[in-house]
Every structure is written in C-alpha cells, then in structure tokens.
Structure 1
Amino acid sequence: MSDLLIHNGRLITWNTPNELLEDSALLLRDGRILDLGPSAALRERYPDAERLDARGQLVMPGNICAHTHFYGAFARGMAIPGPAPKDFPDILVRLWWRLDRALLDVDVKYSALVSLVDAIKHGTTTLVDHHASPNAIDSSLDQIADAVEMAGVRTALCYEVTDRNGPDGAQAGISENVRFLHSVRERGSDLLAGTFGLHASLSLSDKTLERCVAAAKGLDSGFHIHVAEHEADEYDSRERYGLRVVDRLAAAGILGPRSIVAHCVHIDGREMELLRETGTWVTHQPRSNMNNAVGAAPVESLLRLGIPVCLGNDGMGNAMWGEWKEAYFMHKQAHRDPRRMNGMDVVQMAVHNNAALARVFWPNLPLGRLAVGAAADVILVDYHATTPLSAGNLPWHIIFGFESSMVTTTIVGGRVLMRDRQLLTLDEAAITARSRELAAKVWERYNALD
C-alpha cells in the first residue's frame, strides 16, 4: 500500500485536549498515521505520496460503535403479526426471537454486508457486533468475518448463547464462540477480533453460565451480554436465583475489564458499584431504548462513578451521530431538565470511552484519534460551519449541525473504502438487490414460525 497524503483539511484530533488544526495534513503509511502537520510542510516532505485533497473538509477519526446487531438489518420494514407488542418482553418473543430463527447462512452474510455498507457510508469504521441465528449457528461468525474482510471495516464478533432453544442450541452457541476465538487468531487480520457472547440473564441458567465461563478459560476473552434492558430481566433473576442481575453475573465470573454489558437501564446503586469494582464496560443505546420504551439508563451516574460507559446503536443503523443526538436529547426529556446530559458527556462515551473499549480488542492499535502512530482510520466530513467552530464547541456542532450524509470519504487502516461518496470495496447495488430477495424469504419463514 502506497503512502497517502490527505491535505488541505481541518483536522479534529480527539486527543486530550482536543485540537482543531487548520489547513493541515496527514501522511498514512502501512495502516498508521506516520506524520501530521501543516499541509504545505507535508506536501514538501512527501512529494511522491498519493494525494487526497480534503478541500477544506473536516478530517477526523472514524466513528466507533460499541454494541450492534448486524442481523437486525433484515427487520427493517417488517410487520409483526397481530396487535402491536405491549412491552419489551413481547417484542423479544414476537420479533427478535422469531427473526433470528428464520435466518440461514446466506442471510447472516448479507445482513452483515448491508450493515457494513451502512457503516462505510456513514463514517463508522469500528463496530462490536452481537450475533444470533439459532438455525444457522455453526460457522455463522465466519460468514460475518468474510463480509468484514471484504468490506474493510474493523469488527469484534461474538455469538449469543441462550437457553431458549434448548440445551443443544446453548452448547452450539458456546462451541461457535470458542471455535471463532481460535479461528480469529489463525486469520491474523487487523480487522477482526472476538469475544464470548451471551444473551441475557433471563435466558441463561446457572448451569449454562458455568459452562460458558469454563469454556472461555484460556481464551483471553471477556463476555458480551445484555443487562437489565427491561425490568423483566431483574424480576426474573430475583425470583429464580435470589439475586439482581449484576450480582448474579458477578458471582458467576462474567464481569471484568474485558466484558461488556449492554443497556443497564434498570440496575440499582449496588449493581453500579459491582460494575465499577470489576472494571466492566457498559454500553448505552438511546435510540433502541426509546423505540422499545424501556426507559433511560442512569448514564450520568454511571459516568460520575467512573464506570466506562460507551455508545452503541443496538442495530438501529450505523450513523453514529444520530446516536449522539438522541443521547443528548433523551435524558433531558426523560428528566424534564435541559441541564441533563452535557455534550461533553456524549463525547466521553462516543469518542474516548468507545476508543478505549476498541483498544481492548486491538491493544496494539491506537484507535479513535489523530496522532502519529495511531491507526489510519479516518473520515472526511463536508461540514462548513456557519457559526464559529472550535475544539471547545465542536460537540454542539456535531449534535445540532452534523448529518451522516456529510461523510464523503472513509478510510480504515490506510485503505480507502469510500471516496467522494463512492464505495470502493463493496458493490452497494448488488448487495441491496440480493439482500431484498433474501429478506423477503426470511420474512416468509418468520411468518410461518409459531
């Protein structure tokens, strides 16, 4: 891969403190940022480098998504038979636990490809996915991994272990996590990483949790699990096991500095303390939480306790600035207080904490910032502020001014995946046409299920 010089840009570094560097340039080499400085100086220093003229656009690190579900792409526009679901447990049973059973191997791959097209177009360069396909478990993570390598986007993968499809299904999920964690090391790709997926406490017995912990030993992996997204998860855990969800997971050995717990909408103070004590990562998905009417997680309290809360999208779409906006607005509305959720708290989650979580999976690859030695994961954003723009007020420009359509160029590891809004690694038209055919068949199978 030849050197690539991105020049005539306005660089947003997301370093600490953040910097906005006018008329500046980046030199990308071998997947890293080799040099950074004024455009004129770098043009003179690297006369033979391929050039990409930013034309005054913002040049910034690619967005990171801390929790998503690629397979959810095939739910878009799908009608749920019967009356509207009355609550989140009803949504699980009638939508997601039927949809995932309707997926075949080819659907797994194409739902991933659809999501990766979406990510590239909207400047999301790293994602942590959580997958389920009960009737197509074996090698399902390889289907996604193949799509990831084709697209060129960084992704950490896992399979969702659950007891809801019987003991054989649970064991198949465990085996798929173990197989992939070995396989991803053999692939040796900078784009891929793995963790050990679990659904949620309410669908996992003590015996299955014990088997998962035993299977994960020696694999240098944490776990990725949904926690207290709805009150039902807490009620189930208390009634069946005499413990709240986080207490139960802590006792089972699930929590820790390599583990991710998604949502945490209905946890209490002691559960927060356990998350802090174990160094566990939390992810916040505001659009999904509002869509499922599950409530607003105590994000500000978690952050104040020093718990690393990250920002995900739960499969709602990979335009992460939409998630920024909803995180900012949701908590003001939920508490009827415009002082809630400061823009810098959103930055802490979406930029700094997401980057720190990504480095759990890619420890030798500094992600989420523009600096010499950092990963060459860069996006160009065609935003020309009509009011003063500075490093200090940038969060509010993003929340009130940025749109995902403003991303013009997406680069991962120095490889240009989209240039001037033209995808270079994926054929969007072909993927869209094939996905539409496959999704129609998935819907037919979905409707035929009990």
Structure 2
Amino acid sequence: MVLQFKNAWICQATENAVQPVFGDLTVSDGRIADITVNPKGAPDTKIAEGWDVIDLKGRMVTIPNVNFHEHIYSRLAKGLPISGPMGNFVQILENLWWKLDRYLDEEMIAASARMAIRESLRNGVTYLFDHHASPGAVTGSLKIIADEMKKAGLRAALCFEVSDRNGDDIARASVRENIQFISEQTDQDIKGMMGLHALFTLSDETLQAIGESLPDLNTGIHVHVAEDKADVDVNREKYGLAIAERLQKFGLLNERSILVHGVHLGERDYRVITEAGAALAYNPDSNLNNAVGLPDYKSVPQTIPVLAGTDGMHANVARSLKQLFLLRRHQQNSFDDAFGWIIKIFFDQIRFVRRYFPDYPLLQKGERADFVVWDYQPPTPLNADNFWGHYIYGTLEAPVFSLVQNGH
C-alpha cells in the first residue's frame, strides 16, 4: 500500500535537533519511502486528493508520542462511587485503587485496554509503557492487554505490579506473571518489564526474589518511587535506606529501568539513579490531582533521563509535556530554562524508547512509517530555530488530525 501526504511541515528529528522541512511524504510497505522538499515552503494547491493522496494543507507532522507511564486498568474508575476517606494519598490508594484492582477480571481488563487504546490513538500515542494491577486475575493478564495492543497495531512495554499488600501467594504469582510474559515475547512490537509497586508495600524477601530473576530477563523495572512522602518515611524508618538505595541493594536498577513520580527523591537517590543510568518518568497531572506535591525539577541532575507519562489519568501525554513546561516556569525558572527542560525530555524519550524499540523512527527516509499529523498549521514561518515555540504553544495544544503507525 502506498500513501502520499502532501503539503506538510515534516519535523525530522536527529539525536539532538529537529529540522522542519516543507513538502511531501510517501509511505510504502510500512516505511517512509520518500520525502520530497518543496523549496517554496508554500502549499501546492493543485492536489487531486483520493484515498491514497492526502493534502495536509500545511499541518505539522512529528515523531510518535510515547506514554512512559500508563495505568490501563484504571480506565473503568471514572464515575465510580467511593466510600471511605480520601484525605491523603494512602487513603486514596486504600479506598479507590486497591479496591478497584482487586475486582478486575479478564473481561474488565480487556475492556480497559480497548478504552485506553482508543484514547491513546486520539492523542497521537502509539508507544505505551503500561503498569498493570489485577490481583484477582494475575495469570495471563498481560497477554490480554498485549493481544488488544496487537489488534490495534500499537507498540507496548507491559508489566504486572508486584506488591506484598495482598499476601505472599499473590506477590509470588505477580513475579511469575512478569517472568513468564517477558520470557515468551518474540514480537518486536510487544516487550515486557518487571513491575513493582511503591517500595513501602514490598518486603526485602520479595525484592530479593526479583533481584535474583532480573539478570536473566534482559529488561528493567517499572516502579513507583517517592510519589508520596509516606514511601520515603517507611523506607528510611524501617530499612534505614533511601528508596533508590534500597532498589540498588537488590540489584534492581539498570539503564532500562523507569522510576515513576519521584516527587520526594533526594540527593542520595539521584546519585544512585545516575550511576545506574535509569530514567525518571514524571506525571504532573496525577501529582496535582493527588496533592502529593511536586518535585523541585531543577534539582534533578541533567545526567538522569527524564520522561513523561500520564499515570492513567488520561492518555494525552502532550498535555503532560505542556504541564511540565508550565510547572518549570511556575517554579520561578527562566523561559530559556523551561524550553531547555522540554528539549531535554524530547530527546531523552527518543534515547530511552530505543532501549526497547531500537527502530523507533525519527521521520527519516527508509525508517518505519510511524508519525503524528497535528491539526496545527503554523501561522508564522517554521524553522529549526523557532520549532520549540511552535511545538510548545501550538502543537501540544492542538488535536491530532491523523495518525500513521507502521504505514497504516
């Protein structure tokens, strides 16, 4: 199948820059077959559109959106009645999320996945890192989600949340579910990780069991860290360690690991994370919703990869990026600093997603045809120097016009 996208601002990425070019993009057999630059920089109005020729009328095309922290299982929570206090983060867990996840069955897991996929597609997200929990239906749950991803043509790195809060049997079953799923993956579009809940719900015995299995799995952990101060306090008071130090103690950190939230991490944590090469995934909307605070973003070492997620609140990772920009400004940082922050995240995400999907494309000829067409037509000239102004104030506020994944 050959598709032609005419009159587009094609925002080609490299390892450290974005170069917009105006022209046409041809897709064939799942790859970008050709990019033709129009030196005039103005739309060709003599286009005969058809099912295989699409006039984008000057809209922007970018690399695919990646959601580095999803909770697909949370999709059925909207509108649920809640009983019990919700005055702090632990109460929110106990009276909403830990009640919900215990009742999920196979049918509800599949329904949640389908809903999350639809929301993701509408927001230009075709790469997902999901953190799943269904203690009442552990075995085979990741395959259910993977099957829905395959039907939709998305790429995903999936894991099951290991926690001791539901007892030893479920904790061991959760570890086995991760190991089995990771070991069985041969599909280049589906990967597995080792999922962990926050460490205040995990014993040393469980962490040791995970640490003993991890070296043979060629993957990383996907873990909640320091989302609430309670997590920091329990680890310090009970184990005498900072959170990252406790992970390091059991050999759980490597360059393929995602540490989520990190609101209350300290210098000792950052030092360990830097040494391991692991990444931090921020979820600003969730942190604001749960009133757990916000990190001092500027205190995070530049050496730590920074990623963006949604924590299951929604699928719009573009919104998360915009929030991270605004919150950086809100913390009394300059425009140059805030722009630099988003530029860092943009390229960190490319480098990290390629640790799981090495062929993640950058809109270059010959690569996989995965890209987002935004319903944004730049009102002023677009070039490499002003791309980020268009991206942050235009693209990230625009709806998705069209989405192409593997040439479809």
- Tell me the TM-score normalised to structure 2 length: 0.92
Equivalence for 1:55 = 57
Q: 1:382 to 1:226 in 2, by over 3 A?
A: same
Residues in 1 aligned to 2:333 and 2:62: alpha-carbon distance in whole angstroms: 32
Supply the distance in 1 between the matched residues of 2:30 and 2:242 (Cα, whole angstroms): 44
Are the aligned partners of 1:332 and 1:340 in contact in 2 as well (CA < 8 Å)? Answer: no
For the residues of structure 2 that align with 1:341 and 1:237, how far apart are their CA atoms? 33
> Counterparts of 1:11-410 in structure 2 under 5 Å?
11-15=10-14, 16-22=16-22, 24-38=23-37, 50-83=52-85, 85-185=86-186, 188=187, 190-304=188-302, 306-333=303-330, 335-336=331-332, 339=335, 342-349=338-345, 351-363=346-358, 365-367=359-361, 369-402=362-395, 406-410=399-403
Residue deviations 1:98-118 (CA, integer Å, cap 9, x gap): 111111111111111101101
Kindly state the Cα deviation for residue 317 of structure 1 after the two structures are TM-superposed: 1.3
Contact 1:33–1:376, Cα closer than 8 Å, also in 2: yes
Aligned CA distance change for structure 1 residues 264 and 168 (closer, same or farther; 3 Å): same
Does the 8 Å CA contact 1:7/1:39 hold for their aligned counterparts?
Answer: no
Instruction: Please give the per-residue CA displacement for 1:24-54, whole angstroms capped at 9, x wherever unaligned.
Output: 12233343323323269xx9xxxxx943332
Q: Which amino acid aligns with 2:298?
A: E
**Which residue does 2:47 correspond to in 1?**
none
| Structure 2, unaligned runs of 5 or more | 45-50
Q: CA deviation at 1:192?
A: 1.0
1:443 is matched with: none
Distance change (3 Å), C-alpha of 1:141 and 1:163: same
- Asked if the contact 1:194/1:361 (under 8 Å) is kept, the reply is no
Superposed CA RMSD: 2.2
1:218 shift after superposition: 1.4
Deviation per residue, 1:282-334 (Å, 9 max, x gap): 11111111111111123333252x1101111111211222112211122333x
Q: SS at the partner of 1:376?
A: coil
In structure 1, what is the Cα distance between the partners aligned to 2:251 and 2:336?
34
Q: Is the 8 A contact 1:229 1:266 kept in 2?
A: yes
- In structure 1, how many angstroms separate the alpha carbons of the residues matched to 2:252 and 2:109? 27
Structure 1 residue 403: deviation in Å?
Answer: 5.6
Write the distance in 2 (CA, Å) between the matches of 1:157 and 1:59.
27
Deviation at 1:242? 1.0
Alpha-carbon deviation of 1:344?
Answer: 3.1
Residue identity matched to 2:327: M
CA–CA separation in structure 2 for the residues paired with 1:3 and 1:348: 35
Whole-angstrom CA distance in 1 between matches of 2:57 and 2:150? 30
- Distance in 1 (CA, whole Å) between partners of 2:328 and 2:220 is 30
Q: Deviations for 1:235-282, whole angstroms, at most 9, x for unmatched residues?
A: 111111111111110111111111111111111112111111110111
Identity of aligned residues (%): 35
Cα 1:215–1:399 change in 2 (3 A) is: same
Per the TM alignment, residue 402 of structure 1 is displaced from its structure 2 partner at its CA by 3.5
Report the CA distance between 1:398 and its aligned residue. Answer: 3.3
Of 53-62 and 196-205, more deviation after overlay is shown by 53-62
Contact residue 319 and residue 404 of structure 1 kept, 8 A = no
Count of residue correspondences:
398
Structure 1 distance, partners of 2:210, 2:65, is 31
Could you tell me which amino acid in structure 1 is paired with residue 3 of structure 2?
Answer: L
Structure 1 position 75, deviation (Å) = 1.5
Task: Say which is worse superposed, 228-237 or 87-96, in terms of deviation.
Answer: 87-96
Compute the displacement of 1:207 (Å).
0.4
CA distance in 1, matches of 2:19, 2:371: 15
CA gap 1:302/1:29 in 2 versus in 1, 3 angstroms? farther
Distance 1:62 1:165 in 2: 37
- Contact kept, 8 Å, 1:177 with 1:196, in 2: the verdict is yes
In the alignment, the residues of structure 1 paired with residue 336 and residue 202 of structure 2 have an alpha-carbon distance, to the nearest angstrom, of 35
- What letter is aligned with 2:130? D
The structure that is helix-richer by fraction is 1
Per-residue deviation, 1:395: 2.8
For 1:10, give the aligned amino acid: W
**CA pair 161-82 structure 1, distance change in 2 beyond 3 A:** closer
Gaps of 5+ in 1: 44-48, 416-450
Hey, what's the Cα distance between the residues in 1 that align with 2:147 and 2:203?
A: 32
CA distance in 2, matches of 1:55, 1:232: 52
The alpha carbon displacement at 1:411 in A equals 0.9
Summarize deviations over 1:355-381 as a string: whole Å, max 9, x none.
222111112x133x2112433111111
CA distance in 2, matches of 1:310, 1:127: 12
